[in-house]
Amino acid sequence: MSFSPKAMIRFNKKTKEFHLQGKDFSYIIKILKNNQLGQLYFGKKIRDRKSFSHLYAIRSRPLVACVYEGDSFSLDTLKQEYPSYGTTDFREPAFQILQENGSRITNFEYQHHKIYKGKPKLEGLPATYVEKGEEAITLEISLYDKLIDTEIQLLYTVFSEWNALARSARVVNHGQQALNLTRIMSASIDFFDSQFEMVHLSGSWGRERYVKMRKLQPGIQSISSTRGASSSQHNPFIALKRPDATEHRGEVYGFSLVYSGNFLAQVEVDHYDVARVTMGIHPFDFNWLLGQGESFQTPEVVMVYSDQGLNGMSQTYHQLYRTRLAKGYWRDKERPVLINNWEATYFHFDEEKLIKIAKTAKELGIELFVLDDGWFGKRNDSKTSLGDWFVNNRKLPSGITGLAQKINDLGMRFGLWFEPEMVSKASRLYEQHPDWVIKVPGRRMSQGRNQYVLDFSRKEVVDHIYGMMAQILREAPISYVKWDMNRYMTEIGSADLPPERQREVPHRYILGVYDLYERLTTEFPHVLFESCAAGGARFDPGMLYYAPQTWTSDNTDAIERLKIQYGTSFLYPLSAIGAHVTSVPNHQVKRITSLETRAHVAFFGVFGYELDVTKLSEKDKQKVKEQIAFYKKNRKWIMNGTFYRIRSPFEDDGNIVSWMVVSEDQKEALVGYYQVLGTANPGFSRILLKGLRTDYEYEIEGIDGTYFGDELMYVGLLLEDAKGKGDFYSKIYKLKAIQSDEKVGMKNR
Ligand code: DGJ
């Protein structure tokens, strides 16, 4: 069956093989002799053929356990699609189900399948989507275990336009007994070999998503979160890259989990050099009781195939996540240039001060004023009032509505900060509902930033917070919400759930967060949401579904941001990467960089300011005006453009960093060039540009002459003007293809 020449799924009845073909990749599954699913191939697209059975090798091996008597069929030596533990395969499985008699052994056999156009929604979970059926094709395979009368549905969606395959699993208990899902991963895949490097994005607060690579070794290598959020320690993403693959060439397989809670991404290299990738909700401290008639849906893994290196993988994620994961009114809209008062005032502001900042900001061309933390309850520091989402009239006598109106009257939009999932002990909410907090009876409640996590696994808690937020959003002219989350979970427990369901709390919590996002984005479709978690501790695809932009990191130093934004760009499009110009010395690292360098880094993201603009000198104000005008003129194509990483801060000595973005029509490009430290007597430097049309002739702002795309990509852009400059130097190059009637031709070069 086929719907689009680029994406096809064929089932060969005779050989019992499924061949999924994306734009440039093939993915082949076989129903094995024992009716379980085997994995035959994932890689560069191959043509279909009568049979792929030659890819399926069974050889007798010493010391293997075999399924049937007198037969060498063993799951230990086969590559599998959604494996279980305990019946001849000794590797870590995709799932495990504890039954009432204490058994964990299951036998899920192929039952039937469906192939259809489009992509179904995942109940209660964020996921990639299609706008028209033709955009994707889906395979649903149903596996069934007779003894426990339970079904596992595996879902595969192949996109026509992108080299992406979305996978998830759903378990349905049709039987009489209650089952415990002790492990239920979204996807598992066995690769033919283990000649890969594992790429991941790891770090901490203030240094999120640093690029790490390591060669696969026998045994298990993994990254994970057990913090109740996807975390700044590890992003829910790994890639397997061939050792010879580079930024722009070679094979890379990406795995990205559309989820914001605890996760595990692991690769197990076995004794025959098979690499098994498993990804999903972290099974550690997880259990889901599945009663009769109940079902459980896993989040989805988006797998990307690239034969054009890491950058090719990133571009696929960028396009897919920008257009078919992010959603709603703001998805394709130009994002307003904002000013946020956090680093300008922290908690110490009043209406007069804010209006003053807003007035100056307006004069500079800023379009959105965002009021950050400290506007509610009695909050003048981080010790109180979270959960009391009503205005502090001492600071803001005309209320949020009055302030928002005044900001609107200046000709700016108004945005507001919330931290919906948290509560302070010193708050009315906590006084009234002390049991609404995640905690365990009789145990100490650990604090983080003096605050406690609300039990979002309880619907009444989510309802209550929704009520408070919705009221403010209904009353005041608010165009933007910054949704913050500033601590991880400890002493995990819910007063509302029975003992046997306590390990469900972290997942139920995330479902509660998604529910609140869903309700708010539905009731207020025109409000732009920006997600935030102490900067980038929950910068993940799950959040991107509801909030098309994310505050990337609390670390706003331009030089530090080079690493952070570079790593973030492995998955996330520029339209998602919140990037602000702040004051110097920088508040996080005390570094002094020029206003130019700060803007040159922030242009490659959703651009804004976070400083007291009233304190800028007239000269700097003029520069800021120019920066904003420049960004406004170019933001539309920057946001939708194709992003190329050119020089990595993580390679060589990381002293030179460069990246660029090219408009969809390839007529415009913006190149960023950054030098961390100045060097005496430097060599010749050039950067090889990417993504230009070889036959287009480009002019570069501030540089004489014109240059053809081939020259800029193969000879490179010569950087004479960047030579010998000092520390933290940066330069941006704005390219524009000239129309044929304006061509100045070779003579002027
Ligand atoms: C952490 C965020 O990342 C900051 O931008 C700011 O909103 C503070 N929280 C406010 O408490």
Locate the ligand 1 atom nearest the alpha carbon of residue 554 and give its number: 3
Contact between residue 138 and residue 120 where contact means Cβ atoms under 8 Å apart? yes
Q: Which atom of ligand 1 is nearest to the CA of 535?
A: 3
Q: How far is ligand 1, taken at its centre, from the CA of residue 111, in Å?
A: 51
pLDDT digit string (tens) for 642-687?
999 999 999 989 999 999 999 999 999 999 999 999 988 888 889 9
Q: Give bridge partners of residue 643 from the DSSP assignment.
A: 661
- pLDDT, residue 1, reads 43
Mutate to test the pocket of ligand 1, among 205, 371, 372, 610 (most ligand atoms within 8 A of CB): 372
Q: What one-character DSSP code corresponds to residue 569?
A: T
Q: Which residues are catalytic?
A: 484, 554
Q: Does residue 554's CB lie within 6 angstroms of at least one atom of ligand 1?
A: yes
Of the residues 208, 481, 486, 610, which should be mutated to test ligand 1's pocket, given the most ligand atoms within 8 Å of the CB? 486
Q: How far apart are CA 633 and CA 415, in angstroms?
A: 23
pLDDT, one tens digit per residue, over 447-494 is 999 999 999 999 999 999 999 999 999 999 999 999 999 999 999 999
What average pLDDT is seen over the chain? Answer: 96
The pLDDT tens digits for 135-159 are 999 999 999 999 999 999 999 999 9
Residue 2 has pLDDT above 60, yes or no: no
Report whether the peptide linkage leading into residue 83 is cis, meaning its omega lies within 30 degrees of zero.
Answer: no
CB of 370 shorter than 6 A to ligand 1: no
- Ligand 1 proximity of 330 Cβ (cutoff 6 Å): no
Maximum alpha-carbon separation in the chain? 87
pLDDT band at 82 (very low <50, low <70, confident <90, very high): very high
Q: What is the pLDDT of residue 60?
A: 79
pLDDT above 70: residue 745? no
Query: Rounded mean pLDDT of 525-538?
Result: 98
C-beta 530 within 6 A of ligand 1: no
Q: What pLDDT is attached to residue 747? A: 41
- Per-residue pLDDT band at 740 (split at 50, 70, 90): low
pLDDT tens string 90-105: 999 999 999 999 999 9
pLDDT, tens only, 370-382:
999 999 999 999 9
Ligand 1 midpoint to CA 224 (Å): 24
Mean pLDDT of all residues in 729-739: 95
CB of 415 within 6 A of ligand 1: the answer is no
Among 663, 580, 557, 668, residue whose Cα is nearest residue 627: 580
Q: What are phi and psi of 633, to 5 degrees?
A: -65, -30
How close is the Cα of 401 to the center of ligand 1, in Å?
Answer: 22
pLDDT value at 345 more than 50: yes
Contact 197, 215 (CB under 8 A): yes
Q: How far apart are CA 435 and CA 460, in angstroms?
A: 12
For residue 532, the ligand 1 atom closest to its alpha carbon is 3
Q: What is the mean pLDDT of residues 703-722?
A: 92
Tell me: pLDDT of 742 over 90: no
* CB of 532 sitting under 6 A from ligand 1: yes
342: Cβ below 6 Å to ligand 1? yes
Q: Give per-residue pLDDT as tens, 392-402.
A: 999 999 999 99
Q: How many Å lie between the centroid of ligand 1 and the Cα of residue 415?
A: 14
pTM to 2 decimal places: 0.97
Q: Tens digit of pLDDT for each residue in 255-266?
A: 999 999 999 999
pLDDT in tens, 557-577: 999 999 999 999 999 999 999
Q: Specify the residue with its C-alpha closest to ligand 1, atom 1.
A: 534
CA angle 260, 214, 88 (to 5 degrees): 75
Beta strands in 129-251 (DSSP E): 136-145, 150-159, 164-173, 179-191, 197-204, 207-215, 219-225, 234-241
Task: State residue 725's pLDDT score.
Answer: 86
**Average of pLDDT values for 38-66?**
91
SS3 string, 583-634, reads CCCCCCCCCCCCHHHHHHHHCCCEEEEECCHHHCCHHHHHHHHHHHHHHHHH
pLDDT at 683: 83
- Beta carbon of 484 within 6 Å of any ligand 1 atom: yes
Q: Give kind and range of the element (H or E) at residue 731.
A: strand 729-737
For the Cβ of 536 lying below 6 angstroms from any atom of ligand 1, the answer is no
**pLDDT band at residue 5, thresholds of 50, 70 and 90?**
low
Look at residue 526 and tell me whether its pLDDT is greater than 70: yes
Tell me: pLDDT of 556 over 50: yes
Tell whether ligand 1 has an atom less than 6 A from the beta carbon of residue 610: no
Determine the distance separating the centroid of ligand 1 and the alpha carbon of 505, expressed in angstroms.
26
**Residue of the nearest CA to atom 10 in ligand 1?**
373
